[in-house]
Amino acid sequence: MPPTTAPAAAAEAMTSSLGSPTVPSVAFFFLIVLITLAITYWAARKTKTSSEYYAAGRSVSALQNGFALAGDYMSAASFLGISGMVALKGYDGMIYATGWLVGWPALMFLVAEPLRNLGKFTFADVVAFRLQQKPVRIAAAIGGITTVLFYTIAQMVGSGSLIQLMFGLKYEYAEIIVGVVMLAYVLFGGMLATTWVQIIKAVLLLIGVSFLTVLTLSKFGFNPVNLYTEVVKQHGPAALQPGGLITSPLEAVSLGLALMFGLLGLPHILMRFYTVPDAKAARVSVLYATGLIGYFYVIIPIVGFGASVLLRANVVKDGATTALAGRGLITFFDKGGNMAAPLLGELLGGQAFLGFIAAVAFATILAVVAGLTLAGASAYSHDIYVSVIKNGRASEEEQVKAAKIATLVFGAVAVLLGIAFKGQNVAFMVGLAFAIAASANFPALLMSVLWKRFTTWGAVWSIVIGAVSSAGMIILSKTVWVEIFGFEHAIFPMKNPAVFSMAASFAAGIVASLLTAEPEAQEKFEDEKLRTYLGVGAE
């Protein structure tokens, strides 16, 4: 191994422009908003029926959907969060990266194709397919909306603070701008516009992070080992070893279960499978998405490690200019470490590149919130309004109108909740969203696809028990009970309840199904097999 020389560029300290709007960042920001609104205008002319509004007329190709799925999943939390975590905590950030990827193969093996063949617009279509529509739809819509809502709050609060940090914009204005621009995409362009916004964002994000990785590695002779050597020199060997994230095997498995199967219950991800023409395209799109996200998670730790050793800047602290470096500089801007990647971008690529990264982060938030809004709105308008209130007898016009009203309401609620939760630690909300998705939505979905004797009340109880037990245990755990409510001791000792709440949900579904035999549902299970496996009669 060649001896490492201290990187030359890092020696000169810069003065960061982070937190004040610069010409390049504002220019990139407007460019992205203009391009995406132009797409919305184009998509709006193609979006008239409910199938076009919710599912882009099932005209999205496998490659496009692969990028859109990756776009939906690579949120600001993955981009800024994992790079920041690697920068501050070292190897533990990589454990998160792997956990966030492994749900994708499971999604493919278990639900992607049956979901595409059986459903129409939402995952509740699949759960309710052979059961009594009303109770199952109401339960599934509540599970779906709860998941989407917690996920949205986390995104909105994160986005407000992020935009505040990057552009120096007031938090409340940031929330309103995100809400208005995102609503323009969803209201006028429906799923087609939302999909293209995701694709553009995914491409920009991958280009930005790849460029940042190449710039980082160029400081180390394009050999990651030299980077690791510098990391150990500055932060000690612990930076390359697993630390405090995994404390006990049970905790590790529980977190792993929530991350892996949470994906299989996220309504905005599942909804994407209805935008492709058939099961084969659904399948191939998962392969593309897994490749793109896997590549992203393999290179993002390099950005984080790079930031922890390369950063040097002069900052004004307590009225005096001080030179800060590495981890100290990152936490000066944001305690959570979220600014590691933007700061590194500014150091290595100048203000123009920081502007680009900031605009990409903003586009990331817009796109993810747009996808979530569409999923939340469809759970209400398709599952509750059309299927329950109108008994499935609504005209195309009524359906699209209901979808748009639901979108508007959901968007407004997202902005209000974003403002209401200002300054809150939102990590638990992402945890909650994943735990509810894994415990309420996923078991019902899997049992309805696989188990002949699954019944209406099995589905309802599985969803209710899964949602209540996962939310309840998170509220009683340290993250909420101690850190938010201020009690001295947590009642539930673990950080993540998935191992128990998933088991409870499956048990409830099985027991309730066995107690309430439903011969009609069993017969339909046989009847739907041609559609599940051969795609005969799929929409």
Partner 1 sequence: MSNAAPKLHSMDGGAKSARELMDSPDFKALVKKRWTVSFSLLTALFVSYYGYILLLGTNKEWVSQKVSDAPDAVTTVAIPLGIAVILVAWVLTALYVVWANKSYDPEVQRLKGQLKQH
Binding site for partner 1 (CB under 8 A): 1, 3, 91, 94-95, 97-99, 101-102, 104-106, 108-110, 225, 228-229, 231-232, 237, 240-242, 246-249, 251-253, 255-256, 260, 280, 283-284, 286-287, 290-291, 294, 297-298, 450, 523, 526-527, 529-530, 533-536
Closest C-alpha to 392, from 405, 383, 403, 379: 383
Q: Are the C-beta atoms of residues 104 and 239 closer than 8 Å to each other?
A: no
Q: Are the C-beta atoms of residues 178 and 156 closer than 8 Å to each other?
A: yes
* Closest CB 108 distance from partner 1, rounded Å: 6
As a whole number of angstroms, the distance between CA 214 and CA 150 comes to 36
* Residue 65 or 229 having the CB closest to partner 1: 229
* Closest CB 235 distance from partner 1, rounded Å: 11
Q: Are the C-beta atoms of residues 36 and 202 closer than 8 Å to each other?
A: no
* Closest CB 96 distance from partner 1, rounded Å: 10
Q: Are the C-beta atoms of residues 288 and 66 closer than 8 Å to each other?
A: yes
* Closest CB 199 distance from partner 1, rounded Å: 20
How far apart, in Å, are the Cα atoms of 367 and each of 22, 174, 226, 288?
Answer: 23, 15, 36, 19
* Residue 259 or 433 having the CB closest to partner 1: 259
* Residue 240 or 482 having the CB closest to partner 1: 240
* Closest CB 269 distance from partner 1, rounded Å: 15
Q: Got the DSSP string for 431-497?
A: HHHHHHIIIIIHHHHHHHHH-TT--HHHHHHHHHHHHHHHHHHHHTSIIIIITTT--SS-SS--S--
* Residue 18 or 282 having the CB closest to partner 1: 282
* Closest CB 443 distance from partner 1, rounded Å: 15
Closest C-alpha to 462, from 147, 151, 140: 140
* Residue 106 or 169 having the CB closest to partner 1: 106
* Closest CB 229 distance from partner 1, rounded Å: 5
As a whole number of angstroms, the distance between CA 104 and CA 109 comes to 9
* Residue 339 or 538 having the CB closest to partner 1: 538
* Residue 92 or 398 having the CB closest to partner 1: 92
Q: Tell me the residue type at 46.
A: K
Q: Measured in Å, how far apart are the chain's first and last C-alpha atoms? A: 58
